[in-house]
Structures are given as C-alpha cells and as structure tokens.
Amino acid sequence: MVRYYEERFDEKKVGIIFGGKSSEHQISLQSAKSIIEAIDKNKYELVLIGIDKNGKWYLLDPNNYLRNMDNPKLIEMIPSDQRVNIVLGEHDCFFTTPDGRSLGNIDVIFPILHGSYGEDGSIQGLLRLMGKPFIGPSVLGSAVSMDKEVSKKLLSEAGLFIGKYFAYTKDRKGNIDYEKVKENLGTPVFVKPANQGSSVGISKVYEKKKFYMAVDEAFRYDNKIVIEEEIKGREIECAVLGNEDPIASLPGEVLFTDSFYSYDAKYINSGGVQLKVPAELDGDDVEKVKKEAIKAFKALQCNGVARVDFFLTKEGNLFVNEINTLPGFTKLSMYPKLWEVSGLPYKDLVNKMIALAIESHKQEQRLKKNL
C-alpha cells in the first residue's frame, strides 16, 4: 500500500480529477500541474485521479504523474496500473481501487476537467450524486454557461449586452445560408461549437468559400454551433469568486498577434498573446466591468469560481462574450493572474476555492430531502 494515500486526520484530503475525454484533455493536464505545484502540501493531502482519453479513471502517483511536461502538444499522463472505481455504499458513495482499497474520505474534489464532461454539468452531477463537495458551479450553472446559445439568451434576459448570432443544430445544417448570415451579421463572422471552450473548433471567416468549411469544422466538436458577429473592441476579462455574495477581481486585457484569441495563442505559443494585468482602464470602466461580471455570474446561476469575458468597444459599450466556469489554471492563464494583482496570491486563491466548495456543500446538505 502506498504511503501517500494513508488516511490522515490533521489535514483535508483534496481529490484532483483531471484529463478527461474532451478535446481539451491536454489543457486539463497543464492546469492540474499548476494547481498541484501551487497547493499547500502542509495543509492538504492530495489524491490524484487521472481520466484518460477513453474515459478510464486511474489513481496516479503525485510524485510522478505526467511526462513531456514542457511540451503542451505532447504532455500526457504516465500510465498507472491502479484503476479507480466508484462504489455505491449503503449510506455513501466512495472511490476505491479494484482490489477494494478505499481512497478514504475525500473532503473536497477539484475537477480540473475542461470542456465536455468537465464544464457542462456532467462531472458535477456525478459528484453531487456521490455527496462530494466540489469546486466550481453546480449542475445548472455549469450546463447553461457551457452552452453558448442558452447562456446568450439568459444574459440578454438579465439585461446584459451580447452580440448578434445564429444557432443551428446538426439536423438544421441544411438551413445554414451564408448570404443570410452575411446580411444579418456582416463579415467577418465567428463559427463556433456551442459547447466547447479554449477556442477549440472556432474559425474566423471572411468569405463564402471558407464559411461552409468552418461550419463542418465546428460540427466536428458539437451537434450545435453558433455563428456570431464580430464585435470590434478590447478583450477584457474579469474573475469572479464567491457563492451568495461573489466578488470580482480587477479586470485584465488580452492582447494577441493572431486574428483572434486562438487555441495556440492561449496554450502553446506564449509569444502570440500578452495578458495585460490589470487592464489600463479608467475607474468608471473598472467598476462597470466588475459590476457586469457579477451580474452575469448570477444570471447564469454560478457559484464558486468563473471568469467573465467581455468586449469593450471604443464607444464604451460592454458586451459579454462568454463565461468560463472552470477557467484555465496554467502559467499562462488569466484567472489566477487577475486575483494575484487583486491581492489574492495563487496559493490563497486555491484555499479560498476549497473553502467555498465546502461552504456550498454544507448549505445544500441543510436542505430538506424528504417529506
């Protein structure tokens, strides 16, 4: 039996789940690595659960769990011969190895699973059924924030500005007409999978010839796509943290050399993007961004953590682009940088997120379950 999974009672046990079946698998590995390196090992015992690209769960060694760590394109989990099972007990659900050894009472789960199955409410539903506290929004907040069409409708209903768009499911693919899109949205347009993050499957299209190729590409990643107008403005991002009374960080700005904030610019080519933290904004705009970020956070039923992304036009209009309920935590990621400059260092941020997860779980446990 490996020593680092022995039960301890003087510290909290944190389960970190990462990897996953989504197209953002390797981004998840990078985020997990950053969190594992930063977390206070004197305060928390770590249990690492890696999910491979086929959806199999493994117990990993915290001292030797990733390889090719310096190459974002090649980074991968080190194979483990210890699978993880979920056992439905008489009064509780818990994690075990195939030989029946329990991983112990995990106090809180940190699901670092970007994209499908990680940010869309799937893992949140599983953990909720298991009765485990977890970091980030619950099922509803995760699901509606992930779906770009649904989130736009809710944000608009809450009085926030959003850009013009069309949404199409795969069964309506034959109805997609470039001339109609151009007439209503202008050019260029962005073609996106409705339920993906990290700019996966996104294309910026200027002409008809490449438009339908972009549609096909987006449908490779989701059964629903959105086509959005281009909003010319500064890309401003704001981090939100909290449950019933959330707070917002100072805003940051994304500056990039590509035609848009692409996957490569975010995670691979660090020279292709600059994060201006904090953003150079006057006091009124800072307060406006913070206020609108909290408003968006609440409109989409979020709790715990989220990052709200805006476009700020030269006329001073602020449009919500999207909300990330599990923002990246890599060394290039905006979310921890925003809190750092707002006075909350990375290690303290992780402590706060864990505390919020436990607080949210306790509040839910107080609710009456039976008549």
Residue 156: active-site member: no
The total number of structural domains in the chain stands at: 3
Catalytic one among 198, 203, 262, 342? Answer: 198
Pairing between β-strand 304-312 and β-strand 234-242 as defined by DSSP bridges: antiparallel
Catalytic one among 24, 45, 237, 292? Answer: 24
The CATH number given to whatever domain includes residue 92 is: 3.40.50.20
Q: What is the mean pLDDT of each run of 10 residues along the chain (371 residues)?
A: 35 91 87 91 93 94 90 86 84 80 90 90 94 95 96 98 97 96 97 80 93 96 95 97 97 78 50 86 97 98 97 96 91 89 94 94 82 66
Task: Please identify, among 181, 205, 229, the residue that sits at the C-terminal boundary of a domain.
Answer: 229
pLDDT tens track for 172-219: 999 999 999 999 999 999 999 998 765 678 999 999 999 999 999 999
148 is in an annotated binding site: yes
Pair (156, 247) in one structural domain: yes
- What is the rounded CA–CA span in Å between residue 121 and residue 78? 27
Q: Note whether 25 and 112 are within 8 A (CB).
A: no
Domain assignment present for 371: no
The CATH number given to whatever domain includes residue 285 is: 3.30.470.20
Pair (13, 47) in one structural domain: yes
The CATH number given to whatever domain includes residue 180 is: 3.30.1490.20
Pair (7, 123) in one structural domain: yes
Range of the domain at 212: 165-229
Task: Please identify, among 175, 195, 229, the residue that sits at the C-terminal boundary of a domain.
Answer: 229
128 is in an annotated binding site: no
Domain assignment present for 211: yes
Pair (201, 324) in one structural domain: no
Pair (220, 126) in one structural domain: no
Residue 203: active-site member: no
Pair (111, 189) in one structural domain: no
pTM of this structure: 0.89
Residue 167 contacts by C-beta under 8 Å, 6 or more apart in sequence?
Answer: 148, 149, 194, 224, 225, 226, 227
pLDDT at 272: 65
284 is in an annotated binding site: no
Residue 22: active-site member: no
Q: Considering just the CA atoms, what is the radius of gyration of the chain in Å? A: 21
Domain assignment present for 122: yes
- What is the rounded CA–CA span in Å between residue 290 and residue 288? 5
